[in-house]
Amino acid sequence: MFTKIPFSDNMVELEVLNNGGDILKKVSIIIPIYNTEEFLDECIYSIIKQKYENFELLLINDGSGLSCTNKINELEKIDARIKVFHQEERKGVGAARNIGLEKATGDYIYFMDSDDYLGESTVQLLVKNIADHKMVTGKQVRTTLSHENEETAVALDTEVDPDVYLYQQNIKKAFKNRSALHRLISRDLINERNIRFSEDVDCYADLSFILPLLVESDEVPYIKNAYYFKRKRNDPITNPAIMQLDAEKKINDFITIYNQLKDDYRDNSEAAQFLDNHMINFYRKTIVTFLKDERNIDVIYEDLVSFAAKLDQQLLSKKSIIVRRELNPLVRNDRKKYESVNRLHQRLRKVKYALSGRTKLYTHLYRSVFTKLPLKEKTVLFESFLGKNYSDNPKYIYEYMLKNHPDYNFIWIFKEPGKNIPGNPKQIKRFSLKYYYYMGTAKYWVSNSRIPKRFDKREGNVYLQTWHGTPLKKLVFDMKDIHSANPNYKRDVYIQSRRWDYLISPNQYSTEIFGSAFKYDKTMLEYGYPRNDILYTGNDESTITELKRKLNIPVDKKVVLYAPTWRDNDFFEAGKYRFTLQLDLQKMKDQLGDEYVVLLRMHYFIANQLDISEFEGFAFDLSTYDDIAELYLVSDILITDYSSVFFDYANLRRPILFYTYDLESYRDTLRGFYIDIEEDVPGPLLKTTDEVISSINNIEKLNKTYKDKYENFYNRFCAWDDGKASEKVVKDVFEVN
Ligand code: C2G
């Protein structure tokens, strides 16, 4: 496939280009911009830093909003090689690139997207290697905000090895990728042939540009370490990158551009073959998916017939039987036949999907059987922290209903069923077949976290999402760009949160945040948190004493609860985090042991076991205890850090100490917080165990010092909590449906 030619045989050395003062080929780098201000710095600076200096950078502002336009004007000032062209209203990528082609003055043209960026040798390597070819290309590396995949690439790039190889690749490979990006192209060729981007479509305009290049090119050098970093955009809802527009638009655009080009290149068999192969691939990938819902045939049938009529029959006859059976009726414009074949094939695909694994089989049963069974009007499914334990808002809503609405049928979902729960409800194992059955037939779902995307909502289902805390760390759409393991994180959360019929908000602050973070616009239940009811109804001596006995902790001592959050940079593996206890328990025992005991409560992400055996009788590890609300009740003082636990504990109006020993290293994480930890919290930020001990020993004095701040904090975050949140939520959700 590749023939490697050592660099020196075939290339004009850059030194000649530089020192001789003679031919210094100029590159016109063209970048359309539409509201991508958060990515522009990285993109533009990666060009300014290029080792190859003879370029002009044409920024085409394609009708962006004010903040992006201002950003572009700001960037224009950083380098004389940058030229900006503002378009009042948006015309699409193709038109913007065509403007760049009109304005370009370089010997070569090079297109980039404004949310991508380059390795510093990229342009140099492309110019070095194009020689007398019409085009040269390099390697695209898919990356995200966290630049994963980039390390290796940049490492290679920075030590640009002198004997970089020139691969002459077969022409098909050079054009497997339909994109105009990351190709250094002779401007003479573009002008001689007047090669432009179609302006009739938003998507796939590249095809109209790439095809003539294919036809005109004999071989296309591929430079393996000329890197173009293609950012995988993770925000398909707020700021969709072009390719994340909806299916119907994409299909319409693709067929439009295909039909146009088939006519333009009717006499060129190579172009026709290229187009037909891309059209058939697009049909199998995008159109077939769109027609899972056969009502969509109405929407695009004419388009389908129009492209099928242009397909080369010879080429089609070599395609798979499945493709031929679907496309032949379109060639004949036999709609009935096409509909029946599509219906059959969609069914076959579903069966194939169902037989490809247990989860997919259960999902198929959920969608095709269970959700078709009669809805169980009085069945309520509860789940807390993805089945981890019996706790949090779902627990308190359940216990209220058990007492006041015993006529309902309650079911709890657990990873490990068999827990000892009041009312002895049915317990099912998460992701078992029963789980799919009850998810499909229960009218009510009550969860404090996300239910997997595959559980499409059925008619009549009522989904109460309680979430699991006043948001402290920026959530979903309020996060700049997600570099989570799952690149579709934002899209998935968007799909899942569309299913929520009710969302509980613990305070006005959360109401506002949930609106933006989840793009939630249905019913918000603004009653405070059910999980905090117990902090009002159970805040009495006898209940507290009883709880201490249940927890096996001394009833005659005061209690300090230490409940830190997790650190995302200290982990064994994804989802399993490590916590290194910084508190000096020996010192605390020596100085506080007569009066206090300490409860240690790690976050549920923490996987390591604390070893506190030498502090028996003084320190108690309650990390696996189901319900932290009960630990709040028995504790006279809370020590935490950046965990949302203090929003809840503040309902008790008891002292809170913030043991933020790693504040500096946590600072950039703090930037992702909604409140200013150093300003807004109702207690001191402490760095050492000595400070913690001294604060505890002077707790009365501290209470006075923080009295006003605490009052403000309480009014801002706890005002709605009155011990009746469960009751109010149940009235709204269960007594009306
Ligand atoms: N939690 C707990 N024990 C801890 C810390 C937290 O039981 N030591 C529980 C509390 O109910 C807390 C919830 O987990 O409200 C969330 O904990 P955070 O430390 O805030 O961590 P995280 O899960 O990242 O927060 O919107 C809520 C938060 O933003 C989610």
User: How far away, in angstroms, is 469 Cα from ligand 1 center?
Assistant: 6
- Kindly list the protein residues whose Cβ atom lies closer than 6 A to any atom of ligand 1: 467-469, 471-473, 563-565, 601-603, 628, 643-645
| pLDDT > 90 fraction of the chain, expressed in percent and rounded | 72
Closest CA to 553 of 477, 619, 625: 619
Distance between CA atoms of residues 398 and 405, nearest Å:
10
User: How far away, in angstroms, is 644 Cα from ligand 1 center?
Assistant: 5
Which atom of ligand 1 approaches the CA of 606 most closely? 8
Name the strand (E) or helix (H) holding 437.
Answer: helix 433-441
Q: What is the pLDDT of residue 367?
A: 94
User: How far away, in angstroms, is 310 Cα from ligand 1 center?
Assistant: 59
Residue-wise pLDDT tens digits, 330-343: 999 999 999 999 99
* Interior angle at CA 251, CA 246 and CA 255, nearest 5: 155
Looking at 3.40.50.300, 3.40.50.11820, 3.30.70.1400, 3.40.50.1980, the CATH number of the domain 375-532 comes to 3.40.50.11820
In the predicted model, is pLDDT for residue 469 greater than 60?
Answer: yes
What is the bridge-based pairing of β-strands 55-62 and 135-143?
Answer: unpaired
Residue-wise pLDDT tens digits, 677-706: 889 999 999 999 999 999 999 999 999 999
Distance between CA atoms of residues 402 and 426, nearest Å:
13
Distance between CA atoms of residues 505 and 503, nearest Å:
6
In the predicted model, is pLDDT for residue 484 greater than 60?
Answer: no
Q: What is the largest CA-CA distance in the chain?
A: 95
Average pLDDT (702-721) is 97
Which atom of ligand 1 approaches the CA of 391 most closely? 11
Higher pLDDT, 236 or 2: 236
Q: Which residues pair with 3 in a beta bridge?
A: 168
Burial 356-378 (b: 16+ CB within 10 A, else e): eeeeebbbbbbbeebbeeebbee
From 385, 390, 468, 571, give the residue whose CB has the most ligand 1 atoms within 8 Å, as the site to mutate: 468
Higher pLDDT, 148 or 60: 60
Binning the chain into helix, strand and coil, the percentages to the nearest 5 are 45, 15, 40
User: How far away, in angstroms, is 157 Cα from ligand 1 center?
Assistant: 42
Residue-wise pLDDT tens digits, 645-673: 999 999 999 999 999 999 888 777 777 88
In the predicted model, is pLDDT for residue 719 greater than 60?
Answer: yes
User: How far away, in angstroms, is 645 Cα from ligand 1 center?
Assistant: 6
The CATH number given to 5-241 is 3.90.550.10
User: How far away, in angstroms, is 642 Cα from ligand 1 center?
Assistant: 9
From 503, 529, 603, give the residue whose CB has the most ligand 1 atoms within 8 Å, as the site to mutate: 603
Q: What is the pLDDT of residue 605?
A: 86
Helix (H, G, I), strand (E, B) or coil at 149: coil
DSSP track, 190-234: HHHTT----SS-SSSTHHHHHHHHHHH-S-EEEEEEEEEEEE---
Which atom of ligand 1 approaches the CA of 640 most closely? 8
Distance between CA atoms of residues 505 and 525, nearest Å:
6
User: How far away, in angstroms, is 409 Cα from ligand 1 center?
Assistant: 29
User: How far away, in angstroms, is 736 Cα from ligand 1 center?
Assistant: 31
Residue-wise pLDDT tens digits, 342-371: 999 999 998 998 899 999 999 999 999 999
Most confident range, picked from 166-180, 469-483, 550-564, 570-584: 550-564
- pTM value is 0.78
Average pLDDT (450-470) is 95
Residue-wise pLDDT tens digits, 524-567: 999 999 999 999 999 999 999 999 999 999 999 999 999 999 88
User: How far away, in angstroms, is 240 Cα from ligand 1 center?
Assistant: 31
Residue-wise pLDDT tens digits, 365-421: 999 999 999 999 999 999 999 999 999 999 999 999 999 999 999 999 999 999 999
Where in 318-406 does DSSP place strands (E)?
A: 376-383
User: How far away, in angstroms, is 434 Cα from ligand 1 center?
Assistant: 29
Q: If you ran DSSP here, which 8-state letter would residue 675 be given?
A: S
The CATH number given to 546-717 is 3.40.50.12580
Q: What is the pLDDT of residue 17?
A: 43
Residue-wise pLDDT tens digits, 160-183: 444 455 555 566 666 677 889 999
Q: Whose CA is nearest to atom 4 of ligand 1?
A: 603
From 535, 605, 627, 628, give the residue whose CB has the most ligand 1 atoms within 8 Å, as the site to mutate: 628
From 386, 392, 520, 565, give the residue whose CB has the most ligand 1 atoms within 8 Å, as the site to mutate: 565
User: How far away, in angstroms, is 467 Cα from ligand 1 center?
Assistant: 11
Residue-wise pLDDT tens digits, 75-118: 999 999 999 999 999 998 999 999 999 999 999 999 999 999 99
Higher pLDDT, 162 or 312: 312
From 466, 624, 643, 718, give the residue whose CB has the most ligand 1 atoms within 8 Å, as the site to mutate: 643
Q: Whose CA is nearest to atom 29 of ligand 1?
A: 471
Closest CA to 101 of 151, 54, 31: 31
Cα–Cα distances (Å) from 724 to 19, 46, 55, 471, in that order, read 80, 56, 67, 21
